[in-house]
Amino acid sequence: MKERSCKRAKGLFSNHFDQDLTGPDADWLEGHLRNCPSCRKEFASYRSLFQSVRKLPAVQASSGFETRLYARMREEHGSRARASWWQ
């Protein structure tokens, strides 16, 4: 049972750091981290990683990058290449 709870907790980490976790899930994660040293340690590692990544300077993609990227994705994956969440 603990393994399943830990798996659920780890699945919520990214949502938490993206500030996209609210209500019951946020409360559940907070409670789990209070009671699970293993997940608390991994969560701290994720926090450190996310903080480091956010400090990196923004990079400007070269002209035409998006067009080349989507063309390459269509070559490799067909029409599924441009999922709506990428737009």
Which one has a higher pLDDT value, 59 or 86? 59
Q: What CA–CA distance (Å, rounded) separates 6 from 40?
A: 10
DSSP conformational letter for 56: S
Residue 72 lies in a domain: yes
Quote the number of domains for the chain. Answer: 1
How far is Cα 87 from Cα 84, in angstroms, rounded to an integer?
A: 5
CB 21 within 8 A of CB 54: no
Give 28-50 pLDDT, tens digit per residue: 999 999 999 999 999 999 999 98
Q: Tell me if 77 is assigned to some domain.
A: yes
User: Would 67 be classed as within a structural domain?
Assistant: yes
Let me know if residue 87 belongs to a domain: no
> Residue 15, Cβ neighbours under 10 Å: how many?
14
DSSP string, 66-87: HHHHHHHHHHHHGGGGS-GGG-
Residue-range definition of the domain harbouring residue 65: 2-82
The pTM of this model reads: 0.64
